[in-house]
Structure 1
Amino acid sequence: MYQDVLVPTDGSDGTRQSITHGLTIAEQFGGTVHALSVVPEGPLGTLQSDAAIDVADRAVTRVETEAVRAGVPVQTTVETGVPHEEIIAYADEYDIDMIVMGTQGRTGLDRVLVGSVTERIVRMADVPVVTVRLSEDVRIEDADEAERIAREALAADEGLEPDDPVLIDAPHRTSASWIVPLELDAADVHVHVDALTGDARIARRNE
């Protein structure tokens, strides 16, 4: 029934639960999740930049990581344009059966814009649209705190010998999860720290 589920994402906290919902629906019906991130370009000016594209890439990669972990087929795409127009066009082109998206984006202007995009999609889409509201507060908002939790998780893992892990790159947060890349003697790892709960999961780079 729902063989192709579209999850638009901007990498913000408001998309975290929509990703979970989209994966659950796709898994239940044996479908594919389509992760789409749109770099905005429209009446408010061109917002495209290397940084914005990097955020969009990270956003769809986050969905891909979660989908692979859940055993759900996934397709990722980054587009540039007016967000609601690109989402509708993608849904039409790929015969999407359902759209699952958050009602909130980042704070301030982004929060207003994402809410506006969702409202337009609900009015314009020819397929069912499931809207998911972010109901939990982000607890881990500081990169240093995320790094501290990541290092504690490594120290507690008996299968690793962390010694003195070296930070490869600055921790970054997408969909309410911090990703902390660290270099060990044996292998490089990414520690995923849930910004809502503080839980940490260690992923070796070849996972």
Structure 2
Amino acid sequence: MYHDLLIPTDGSDGTRQALVHGLAIARRFDATVHALSVLPEGPYGSLESDESAAEAERDAERALERVETDAERDGLESATAIRRGAPHEEILAYAEENGIDMIVMGTHGRTGIDRALVGSVTERIVREASVPVVTVRVSDDLRIGDAADAEAIALEGLEARGYDDATTVDDPHRTSGSWIVPVETREGRIQVHVDAASGDVRLARLDG
């Protein structure tokens, strides 16, 4: 039913939560995951220095790399793109040009004006898109604020991946929007990243 699924992303908590839901849908239908990051220009943009513009592009690239990594982990094909322009226009144009069957979006972006902007963009996509749009409501609070909870989620995620002998070797620590949980397994040491907003688990490093 759904062959190509689009997830607009900026790497924020909101779009990471949308990614979790989008990947679940993609796994169900073995769909190709498209990730699009739009750098706002025109009435949606702001006067930025060259330095801040370069930082925004690096953020976009990192957000797309995250989607590629998670899609590959789930055995899904992926395609990524960065565009510049009015976000809702670029998202709708990409969807039409690439035969997108469904769009999955968060309702919030980063903070301040960006939060209002992303909410407005999502609303316009819902109104104007010719394909189904799944919106993921984002809580203002981090779901995982405690190290013990992060450790439990990390071990549970590893067990689901067949690492039933994993034990923690150091206390979990926060970095940006994730918890890092160092563990030891029969195959060596693994660093587990637990997304503090969504609870998503991924293996960040495996040492033999």
TM-score between the two structures when normalised by the length of structure 2: 0.72
Is 1:17 paired with 2:36?
Answer: no
- In structure 2, the residue matched to 1:203 is 204
3-state SS in 2 of match to 1:49: helix
* Cα deviations by residue, 1:43-94 (Å, 9 ceiling, x for unpaired): 2435571100011111111111111111111111111111111101100110
Give structure 1 regions of 4+ aligned residues with deviation exceeding 6 angstroms. 187-190, 197-200
Q: What CA distance in whole angstroms lies between the structure 1 residues aligned with 2:18 and 2:198?
A: 17
3-state SS in 2 of match to 1:72: coil
Q: What CA distance in whole angstroms lies between the structure 1 residues aligned with 2:176 and 2:55?
A: 13
- In structure 2, the residue matched to 1:2 is 2
3-state SS in 1 of match to 2:134: strand
Alpha-carbon distance change, 50 to 114 in structure 1, aligned in 2, over 3 angstroms: same
| Structure 1 counterpart of 2:84, one-letter code | T
Q: What CA distance in whole angstroms lies between the structure 1 residues aligned with 2:198 and 2:107?
A: 21
Alpha-carbon distance change, 114 to 57 in structure 1, aligned in 2, over 3 angstroms: same
Point out where structure 2 has 5 or more consecutive residues left out of the alignment.
Answer: 155-164, 170-174, 182-187
| Structure 1 counterpart of 2:69, one-letter code | T
1:136·1:196 contact (CA, 8 Å) conserved in 2? no
1:195 CA drift (Å):
1.7
1:7 CA drift (Å):
0.3
3-state SS in 1 of match to 2:11: coil
Q: What CA distance in whole angstroms lies between the structure 1 residues aligned with 2:190 and 2:53?
A: 28
1:108 CA drift (Å):
1.4
3-state SS in 2 of match to 1:6: strand
| Structure 2 counterpart of 1:34, one-letter code | H
1:118 CA drift (Å):
0.2
1:188 CA drift (Å):
11
Q: RMSD of the TM alignment (CA)? A: 3.5
- In structure 2, the residue matched to 1:92 is 96
TM-score between the two structures when normalised by the length of structure 1: 0.72
Q: What CA distance in whole angstroms lies between the structure 2 residues aligned with 1:198 and 1:101?
A: 18
Q: How many residues align?
A: 184
Alignment of 1:1-207 (within 5 A): 1-43=1-43, 44-47=45-48, 49-135=53-139, 137-138=141-142, 171-173=175-177, 177=178, 191-196=192-197, 202-204=203-205
